[in-house]
Structure 1
Amino acid sequence: MTLEQLKSRHSALLAARYSGTRSVSYDGKTVNYGSDAELAAAIGDIERRIAKLERGARRVLRPFAVKDL
Structure 2
Amino acid sequence: MAFTQQNLDAIENAIATGTLSVEYNGKRVTYRSMSDLMRARDVIKADLEKQKPNSTPRSSVAIYERF
- TM-score relative to the length of structure 1: 0.71
Matched to 2:4, the amino acid is L
Any gaps of 5 or more consecutive residues in structure 2?
57-67
Any gaps of 5 or more consecutive residues in structure 1?
59-69
**Structure showing the higher helix proportion among its residues:** 1
Counterpart of 2:5 in structure 1 is 7
Counterpart of 2:44 in structure 1 is 46
- TM-score relative to the length of structure 2: 0.73
Counterpart of 2:64 in structure 1 is none
Report the aligned-residue RMSD.
Answer: 1.8
Q: What is the number of equivalent residue pairs in this alignment?
A: 55
- Runs of 4+ displaced beyond 2 Å: none
